[in-house]
Chains A and B, each alone.
Chain A
Amino acid sequence: MAEKILMKGNEAIAYAAINCGCDGYFGYPITPQSEVMETLMKEKPWETTGMVVLQAESETSSINMVYGGACCGKKVMTSSSSPGISLMCEGISYLAGAELPCLVVNVMRGGPGLGTIQPSQGDYFQTTKGGGHGDYRNIVLAPASAQDMYDFVDLGFELAFKYRNPAIILGDGVIGQMMEKVELRPAKARRTDEEIKKLCASWATIGKTADRKANTITSLALEADVQERFNIKLQKKYAEIEANEVRYSTYKTEDAEHLIVAFGCMSRICENVVELAREQGIKLGLLRPITLFPYPKAAIDALVPQLKSIMSVELNAGQMIEDIRLISNGRVPVNFYGRQGGMVPSPEEIFEAFIKTIK
């Protein structure tokens, strides 16, 4: 049996990065995710796998280091928390516009502005709808445990390279700060220069050789028609991601008459809400989107006919609920319960709110 280690979600990100053959991490300290870089610095992976770890001068610089590393076909990543991610959004738009693979981890805290350092899910819109300028999408994974944090690093890189697109792990202060046991996976070696050449030579800036044309990585097109053609290509890619990469899980939805939809730490808390309801004979189920883009539209749509109500439970003022309402399209009431600014509700508190919506 693989070894199980007690670690914080943030530490899991760092260990997973080293373990899955990440080439470079570039970051800037911010609570509640500073343990990611602290763990990497403590572990000194440059002495073992050769992974580069660098504390940048800002989040802006971090994401642009990621851009530079991604241009070289390397598996590169950064992590931050909400205000830092806002700074990175320009860079993420460039990465999407240049079709570069990378991994960004957001351990969300309360906003807007400098906000609080407590857990939040207030960046749902920012992350799933873009965040930076222009028509682009991120692949968004929402972890609900330290194990997810660990596993989604490798998964995030796989998806990022499969689609040459930024992937974002959208965690929160609960998942980042909480310790749980994490089962370590078999290590993957970093890609060799030869492997990178084989995989990325058609686009990466790894040195122009006589057998190919020079590669240029840019997101610039001065002519509108060229830009439009590119944007249409991007949209096709996003449609492909929506067709192939939806991930979600359900809990007691088979006979459910009511459904809670919640992601990340809230999905864990809402499992207890399902139990509280079931104790009272109320047929409540839970759907947890694991990918927030692509969103599990079909899964929710298929449940709608059996439901009397849906409740979206989020650590924000109601963001994901808009996606659920689009899917429900008026067929069933879609209610909301959320806390903001870093407050995290208990299962009992959510259950009370849920009961009120169905009476």
Chain B
Amino acid sequence: MSDAPATPGAGAGSAPAPDLVPVLSATWAEERSWSIDTYADAGGYQALTKALGMAPGDLIQAVKDSGLRGRGGAGFPTGMKWGFLPPDDGGPRYLVVNADESEPGTCKDIPTMMSAPHALVEGVIITSFAIGCNHAFIYLRGEVVHVYRRLLQAVREAYEAGHLGKDIHGSGFDLDVTVHAGAGAYICGEETALLDSLEGRRGQPRLKPPFPAVAGLYARPTVVNNVESVASVPAIVDKGVEWFTAMGTERSKGMGLFSLSGHVARPGQYEAPLGITLRELLEHAGGIREGHELKFWTPGGSSTPIFTAEHLDTPLDYESVGAAGSMLGTRALQLFDDTTCVVRAVTRWTEFYKHESCGKCTPCREGTFWLTQILKRIEGGRGTQADIQQLLDTCDSIAGRSFCALGDGATSSIISSVKLFREEYEAHVEQGGCPFDRAASALFDYDEAPAGATRADSDAPEEAHA
């Protein structure tokens, strides 16, 4: 607990300071938490009033000073991103919220928008005001229709309350918001692919430069921010920069939603200052399930190199996780216990990347196609030692070579799992099959007798046809 900052007011020698800080999640248990009334009752839209009374430049500076870093995985300083917009040239500029949450393990933005969409809406208005945007977009993945309903309603409620539309609260500031549903493509979470998708095209990433800040949506200056980043802005404006910087670490300030899932007793969303450790989070979450031990986990979703129990005390901030060989990403902590086959997990992630590869660049398109076949053979007991090396060689041809980070993400789990669990890969090769019992990993009991002809696992050869 030595890294956890002291909460103001705790006296010396008192009990360990609570290290969870519900900020975005504070209202999620309220009755009709999603409605504007509930949000306002809890102090919502006060930040907007305050922001409209500030100069936009001062708002940007405040967000810079807060140290808020993009919560969508890359961790780029948000205020600095806003500052990259060129001077006003009389043409439009846009804010686009990336609500395309699709990274395996990541499940923080969906509950935020389901239970408190107004946190996002208020954040959108303040951010738009700060950067001089008069038409903002929220790009939501299409596979969550109730969240979409909630967002549409929240935007409508905000218009009705005068927080959106023309001359908001007499400030002279106009803002329209369009909530846009995607249609099923993980790659649209990549900011330039998102922009192309929002323009009505295939979601394939664009060349950078030009960066979106200079030429983004419709080739106009654009800021693309994650839901959580934008939703954090009202709190920063309302409670102040010092409040925010008091949380977190030197270079990873503030709080974030940590999503715990998998073989943990109480999976869920745990809002805490950056820098908390998994061990501390597990204490709140009831630990790994009874009778089992943590075997491997992802700090930031499937695109980040895996960790093991050795990393239980690694502070979960950008620098520390980076130094330990992975990435903080979206704080999507998928926890797997000793019943889980690493090869099975990695194979399924790789199939995901192959399915989601946009196809634009050779390394990712062809590489994930190849990796998947090798892994399925290994998982199905038809692999060879050479295959394990081939996995690494193929990853070498992808990582750092692909057009966007999806290629790199696809290689992370493979490279790290071979490094940490090579013997498990070799066991599949030597034993001609998987030494683990799938049923033991499941959260319900069942008899591992085949359910029928449509068994979907790696015994089936790779489908090569369209």
Q: Do A and B belong to a common assembly? A: no
Please list the residues of chain B having a beta carbon within 8 angstroms of any beta carbon in chain A.
none
